[in-house]
Amino acid sequence: MKQKVSKKPDRHPKDELLREDRIPHIWCPGCGIGSAFSSCITALKKTGIDYDRLAVVSGIGCTGRVAGYLNLDSFHTTHGRAIPFATGLKLAKPEMNVFVFSGEGDLFSIGGNHFLHAARKNIDITVICVNNMNYGMTGGQVSANTPTGAITSTTPYGNAEVPLNLPSLAAACGAVYIARWLSLDVRRLAESILEALLKPGFSFIEILAPCPTAFGRRNRLGSALDMIKLYQKNSVIRNGVHPDETVIEEGKKMVLGKFIDTERPTFLDRLSKTSELKSTAWPKKEMAAQR
Amino acid sequence: MTSKRVLTGEHFINGDEACTEGALAAGCNFFAGYPITPATEVAETMSRRLPKLDGTYVQMEDEIASIAAVLGAAWGGAKSMTSTSGPGFSLMMENIGLGVITETPCVVVNIQRGGPSTGLPTTCGQGDIMQAKWGSHGHYEIIAISPSSPQEMFDFTIRAFNLAETFRIPVLIMADEVVGHTLERVTIPPAEKIKVINRKKPTESPKTYLPYKTDSSLIPVLPNAGDGYRIHITGLTHDERGYPVPDAETQEVLITRLINKIRKNRDKIIDYEDYFLDGARIVIVTYGSSVRPALKAMRGLRNEGVKVGLLKLNTIWPFAEDLIRKLAKKVEAFVVPEVNFGQIALEVERCASGQALTKLISHAGGGIHRPQQIADAVKKILPELGSKRNKR
């Protein structure tokens, strides 16, 4: 009698962090979220952090679905509110490493205010933002990061607005780690996500990713491959450059790299100290006396 | 500032402070909020007390962020709370819905003021009662309680946490400015006399565990983040695994359970006090700051020989429907004083379904009813009742 050989299908090394029972995912062929997601898993594995001590929070949108596919404690919240949700989770359970993975429409159009304050307070979370320059899930409407002049379903004559420059914004608010990569830069991106996850304080990574289905099609940018080639051709790596020099505008290459990597006490660091303080830290008594 | 969690003893504090002390006595260890009159004293007291109790106080950028942080903290295992008033309550609505569908235990305090909009920031209103029930989109059930004094702000806030932990739902404390700002004696019992309920934790292996599978209680047993279950929590319609399934069948199963979780457990949730209901022809139905003038009116009327009783609603939602239906068969009329133009009165009228008259005594806000107003309203309907009785 022939012996039964049970051959388990080969598992991809990243499958352990994937909710395999949720595949197939919703992302379109050629979408940049998939490779950004994959880079994130690479980084998560390299952190050496116990997976039970990691939590991911997403908002709403295509990128907002990331939380649903990661085999971690994962929270798919309301539109724009992933950062304050993550703030509550982190402050209540500081031993967990909490990161936010969401899109630019979610984090910066509807949720911009929360980003300002979480960065300012230096809440110890990592925010990973896929910027595909439009609202993909609802069919490609204008977002706070749609380039001026671009066609979207709600800017049929071209976008009259000026996009936010996310690294500048993050720097102005006090983020301790700021990087920007293409979804194509899988290794550099994974390295940045790894650094950001291990860095105490508010770290921010922007990922420029093609949305061939909604944004590419309307702006005649060709196939997904054409789009990513276009992004690659029109970008330049300038590590350490001032974030204000990374504005994405016509006629200039998109600046990629790690722009900020610094130290600042986190909210919880300061909180534990201020509750011990006997007097106010500012204004100093001497300052008051000078008046 | 003391590092004692339960301040056993007699205190002279206002309702907002009593609410905070109740929360702390119930084990609250996380507060996120945004300043707003007349709820600010809750946040201020929390900011003084929590850091000394190994808790976390954080002032957020707005009320949307506050409730989001409260939900996140709840999943981090905290007993979390926020406090606000009308404008902030409106901003919190979307995430209260997230709390309902994800079954997140937390407490939201609304010290109601006059509305709509900025309205009367420093004075009383009770206009958010229906908003508490219907304010977030979609159809759901909620638990809302209604303290009528600083002592009840302490006692009922403990109960609010216990209900939140038991039923895994945001519990709303629908107080008002008069209750929040009344300064009087509050007795805090010894810690061992305070009943504190903590959420159940799963014991099943993470391999076979289904987060949203429930027994006949209809209440899921869910872990906190970091417990090793690697749960997925979503605001989308989800199945027992917690995974989004966008179809009518899953919606039917989930929403029916969320509704029945409260409706079928209503006897465990609903709380009220009654006064002189036996033989009463008229019952004053009241809650919040309207209770005291209503009680005074009732006593005066009874001294004059009017057969009037009083029903004080300690919980507003779920509504004490069965009780009103039962009473409607016995009494001739309900009188409902409210600092609005008819919200609980509508519920009373619905449940009375023509078997007893329902009379609203409205108040636009900025103050509360005088006892005489309530007494006069009761007297005014007395002749109507006579004719109704003759027709029977």
Q: Examine the pLDDT at B17 and tell me if it is beyond 70.
A: yes
Q: Which domain covers residue B297, as residue numbers? A: 273-391
With tokens 């003038």, the residue in question is: B293
Residue A119 CB neighbours (<10 A)? 25
Reply yes or no on whether the pLDDT at B326 is more than 80: yes
Cα B182 off chain centre by: 19
Q: Sorting pLDDT into bands at 50, 70 and 90, what band is B388?
A: very low
Task: Write the CATH number for B70.
Answer: 3.40.50.970
Residue B242 counted as domain residue: no
Distance, CA of B56 to CA of B39 (rounded, Å): 19
Q: Would you say residue B251 lies in a domain?
A: no
Q: What pLDDT, on a 0 to 100 scale, did the predictor assign at position A3?
A: 61
With a cut of 80, say whether residue B268 has pLDDT above it. yes
Q: What's the whole-number average pLDDT of chain A? A: 93
Task: Give the pLDDT confidence of A64-79 residue by residue, as tens digits.
Answer: 999 999 999 999 999 9
Rounded to an integer, the average pLDDT of A193-213 is: 98
B18 within a domain of the structure (yes/no): yes
As a whole number, mean pLDDT of residues A93-105 equals: 98
Q: Is residue B386 pLDDT above 70, yes or no?
A: no
Q: Is the pLDDT of residue A278 over 60?
A: no
Task: Tell if the CB–CB gap between A73 and B225 is shorter than 8 Å.
Answer: yes
**Are residues B175 and B319 both part of a single domain?**
no
Domains along chain A with CATH numbers: 15-265 (3.40.50.970)
* DSSP H/E element including A255: strand A254-261
Say whether B230 and A88 touch across the interface (CB within 8 A): no
Q: What confidence tier does A286 reach under pLDDT thresholds 50, 70, 90?
A: low
Domain end point (choices B193, B212, B232): B193
Q: Which residues from A are below 8 Å from B95, CB to CB?
A: 77-78, 81
**Tens of pLDDT, residues B204-239:** 999 999 999 999 999 999 999 999 999 999 999 999
pLDDT of residue A288: 58
**pLDDT over 70 percentage in chain B:** 98
Cis peptide before B244 (omega within 30 of 0): no
Q: What is the mean pLDDT of residues A89-117?
A: 98
CB contact (8 A) between residue B224 and residue A271: no
CA-CA-CA-CA dihedral for B67, A76, A185, A153, to nearest 10 = -90
Amino acid at position B39, single letter: A
User: Are B74 and A92 within 8 A, CB to CB?
Assistant: yes
Residues B148 and B297 placed together within one structural domain of the fold:
no
- Per-residue pLDDT band at A271 (split at 50, 70, 90): confident
Strand A54-58 vs strand A177-182: parallel, antiparallel, or unpaired? unpaired
Q: Does residue B112 lie within any of the structural domains?
A: yes
Whether B105 has a pLDDT exceeding 60, the answer reads yes
Mean pLDDT of chain B: 96
Tell me whether A173 touches chain B (CB under 8 Å).
no
Q: How confident is the model at residue A289 (pLDDT cuts 50, 70, 90)?
A: low
* Domain-located, residue B4: no
Question: What is the C-alpha to C-alpha distance for residues B113 and B177, in angstroms, rounded to an integer?
Answer: 6
pLDDT tens digits for range B38-96: 999 999 999 999 999 999 999 999 999 999 999 999 999 999 999 999 999 999 999 99
Q: Check if the beta carbon of residue B154 is closer than 8 Å to that of residue B295.
A: no
d(CA A193, CA A187): 10
Residue B78: closest C-alpha in chain A: A92
A155 touches chain B (CB under 8 A): no
- Identify the domain boundary among B158, B193, B228: B193
Output the pLDDT for position B391.
41
Return the residue matching tokens 């937390």: B106
- pLDDT tens-place string over residues A110-136: 999 999 999 999 999 999 999 999 999
Q: Residue A272: which pLDDT band, with cuts at 50, 70 and 90?
A: confident
Asked if B230 lies within 8 A of A72 by C-beta distance, the reply is yes
The reply to whether B30 and B144 lie within a common domain is yes
Of A22, A72, A93, Cβ closest to residue B76:
A93
pLDDT digits (tens, 9 = 90+) for A151-174: 999 999 999 999 999 999 999 999
Model pLDDT, residue A10: 80
pTM, 2 dp: 0.96
Q: Does residue B211 lie within any of the structural domains? A: no
Q: How far apart are CA A277 and CA A271, in angstroms?
A: 10
pLDDT at A279 over 90: no
| Spatial distance between the Cα atoms of A58 and A53, rounded to a whole number of angstroms | 17
Determine the pLDDT at residue A262.
98
How many A-B residue pairs are in contact by the CB < 8 A criterion?
141
Long-range contacts of B245-254 (CB under 8 A, 24+ apart): B254/B101, B254/B212
On whether both B169 and B315 belong to a single domain, the answer is: no
Chain B contact for A264, CB < 8 A? no
Residue A88 has pLDDT above 90, yes or no: yes
Which residue's entry shows tokens 């920031």? B121
Q: Which of B1, B30, B61, B238 to mutate to test the interface with A (most CBs of A within 10 A)?
A: B61
pLDDT at B385: 87
- Domain-terminating residue out of B134, B160, B193: B193
Identify the pLDDT of residue A291. Answer: 54
pLDDT confidence band for A6 (50 / 70 / 90): low
- B182 & B320 share domain: no
Calculate how close chain A gets to B244, using CA atoms only, in Å.
8
More confident residue, A206 or A290: A206
- Which residues in chain B have their CB less than 8 angstroms from residue A71's CB? 230
Same domain, B277 and B177: no
Residue A282, pLDDT score? 57
Q: Are residues B317 and B178 in the same domain?
A: no
B54 and B184 share a domain? yes
Return the pLDDT at A194. 98
Looking up tokens 């409706």, which residue turns up?
A: B263
Q: Is residue B245 part of a domain?
A: no
Q: Please check whether residue A113 touches B, CB under 8 A.
A: yes
Give me the pLDDT at residue A188, please: 98
Q: What are the contacts of B355-359 at 24+ separation with CB within 8 A?
A: B355/B328, B355/B329, B356/B327, B356/B328, B356/B331, B356/B332, B357/B332, B357/B333, B357/B381, B357/B384, B357/B385, B357/B388, B358/B333, B358/B334, B359/B333, B359/B334, B359/B335
Tokens of A9: 């299908």
Whether B46 and B57 have beta carbons less than 8 Å apart is answered as yes
* Chain B residue numbers touching A95 (CB-CB < 8 A): 226
Give the total number of structural domains in chain B: 2
Q: What pLDDT was estimated at residue A2?
A: 57
Task: Tell me how crowded residue B208 is: count the other CB atoms within 10 A of its CB.
Answer: 6
Q: Please list every residue in chain A whose beta carbon sits closer than 8 Å to the beta carbon of residue B231.
A: 73-74
Determine contact: A286 vs chain B, CB below 8 A: no
**CATH code of B281's domain:** 3.40.50.920
Average confidence (pLDDT) over B287-302: 98
Say if strands A235-237 and A126-131 run parallel, antiparallel, or are unpaired. Answer: unpaired
Do B280 and B188 share a structural domain? no
**Chain centroid to CA A38: how far?**
13
Q: Both B286 and B164 in a single domain? A: no
Does B65 contact A74 at a Cβ distance shorter than 8 Å?
no
B30 and B136 inside one domain: yes
Is B259 part of any domain?
A: no
Q: Does B306 lie in the same domain as B169?
A: no
CA atoms of A277 and B276, how far apart (whole Å)? 56
